[in-house]
Structure 1
Amino acid sequence: MAGEIPDLEAQERTGTGKGAARQARRDGMVPGIVFGGDTDPLPINIPFNTLIQKLRAGRFKSTLFNMKVDGHDDVRVICRDVQRHVVKDLPTHIDFMRLKRTTQINLFIAVEVDGEEESPGLKQGGVLTMIRPEVELIVTAGDIPDHVTIDISELEIGDSVTISAVKLPKGAKPTIDRDFVIAQISAPSGLASQSDDEDEDDVDVDEVPTTEMGPPDGEEAED
């Protein structure tokens, strides 16, 4: 199931060069360019506050956007570069690449959990730990899932779910070439601490050897 692709609104930038870019920044915009595909590059401006908000949300360079520019057809884009001020670290220019529906890209996909109510490990007081709340997959731009699902209905304490147990969408595959852990059920902290204490109590002080002290060398023991 394809996920909802967030919109990113931009304005077509009139004029090119450093002068137009400086004017855009004075107007509270971040200049950028959209390139790729069978269309000429399109100079754009994006509101500074909008861009900052999306950058701070994270995963900006691995998020597919539906770019909307007045006078142009909507197009799917992905960020390829964000240039920043050397001192203030604020965005000064941004590059986007157009994508066809068949283009393969790397995206982070959210992980959803099924079977929490049935899991014997959770019923026994275990704790579900999400090692990877998102997994990075290679997907096609025209068929991006909004999530992948893991099933923990049969997991006991100490069990885990790896990527090999996940049914991935058609055409999708992990970017990591190994069977990595996504989630696991751990023992509750109180139980773990009790186990540690029991290990310490197993030491028998009566088994610790003692050394019998004798008189100093050259001296005889008194009767």
Structure 2
Amino acid sequence: MSKESYELKAEARERVGKGSSRELRRNGLIPAVIYGDKQAPISIALSTNEVTKRIHAGGFMTTVATIDVDGKKIKVLPKDYQLDPVRDFTMHVDFLRVSGNTLVNVEIPVHFENEEKSDIKIGGVLNIVRHEVEVHCPADAIPEFFNIDLSGKKIGDSIHISEVTLPKGVTPVIDRDFTIATIIAPAAGIDESAAEGEAEA
């Protein structure tokens, strides 16, 4: 399941534009916009520290949040954020309004387990083609990650999206059985004696 929801306090912004944004950042705030759900966009300001903390905690783009705008609570999903290319602080955030029946496209991280039960233990290399998989799913049921079991995988094997058990209502955006990872031989080749020893064990 997705990470636990959280709440951010915000204030509505009357003024927009570069000058206003610079002033907000000097005061420890980030300019942001809430849009979607067939309603007019709302310009808001958020605490830089709070937003940065949420981004660094992980799962920021896949966790539904509540934004309290001057007492009005709005459910949102972060859709984009910009970082300063030099100083690496958050410059701006875009949020999408969501409700129980909102469907969204999100990129879900892929985790791998049981490498020691595959040919990786004898020197095979896990070649990850996709670190994330983009899916279409309900906003209130976004998976936190997909787990892929490597047990029994041999050198030359590929892992496709069809091998991943997707939760109900979650479908890949790409409409084909694409490759997520492969197990390949190392550039130096496999140590045959080590492989035989593993097999005997």
TM surpasses 0.5: yes
Q: Hey, what does 1:122 align to over in structure 2?
A: 120
Higher strand share: 2
Which residue type is aligned with residue 170 of structure 2?
A
Q: Residue 8 of structure 1 contacts residue 65 of structure 1 at CA under 8 Å; is this kept in 2?
A: no
Residues 1:168 and 1:51: Cα distance change in structure 2 (over 3 Å): same
RMSD over aligned Cα atoms = 3.6
**Structure 1 unaligned regions, length at least 5:** 195-223
**Structure 2 unaligned regions, length at least 5:** 193-201
Question: What is the Cα deviation at residue 192 of structure 1?
Answer: 6.6
Residues 1:126 and 1:5: Cα distance change in structure 2 (over 3 Å): same
How far, CA to CA, are the matches of 1:191 and 1:17 in structure 2?
Answer: 63
Spell out, residue by residue over 1:134-187, the C-alpha distance to the aligned partner (whole angstroms, 9 max, x if none): 211111111111121222212111111011221111111111222221111111
How far, CA to CA, are the matches of 1:79 and 1:123 in structure 2?
Answer: 39
Q: Hey, what does 2:179 align to over in structure 1?
A: 181
| Structure 1 residue 146 corresponds to structure 2 residue 144 | yes
Spell out, residue by residue over 1:85-129, the C-alpha distance to the aligned partner (whole angstroms, 9 max, x if none): 9xx99876544221112211111112122332322x224321222
Residues 1:66 and 1:124: Cα distance change in structure 2 (over 3 Å): same
Residues 1:158 and 1:38: Cα distance change in structure 2 (over 3 Å): closer
| Structure 1 residue 135 corresponds to structure 2 residue 149 | no
How far, CA to CA, are the matches of 1:179 and 1:17 in structure 2?
Answer: 48
3-state SS of the aligned residue for 1:117? helix
Larger radius of gyration: 1
3-state SS of the aligned residue for 2:120? helix
Q: Residue 78 of structure 1 contacts residue 99 of structure 1 at CA under 8 Å; is this kept in 2?
A: no
Spell out, residue by residue over 1:72-95, the C-alpha distance to the aligned partner (whole angstroms, 9 max, x if none): 33523333686x99xx99876544
| TM-score normalised over the length of structure 2 | 0.71
Structure number with the bigger relative contact order (C-alpha 8 A, sep ≥ 6) is: 2
Residues 1:38 and 1:125: Cα distance change in structure 2 (over 3 Å): closer
Q: Hey, what does 1:44 align to over in structure 2?
A: 44
How far, CA to CA, are the matches of 1:35 and 1:159 in structure 2?
Answer: 44
Q: Hey, what does 1:111 align to over in structure 2?
A: 110
How far, CA to CA, are the matches of 1:49 and 1:175 in structure 2?
Answer: 34
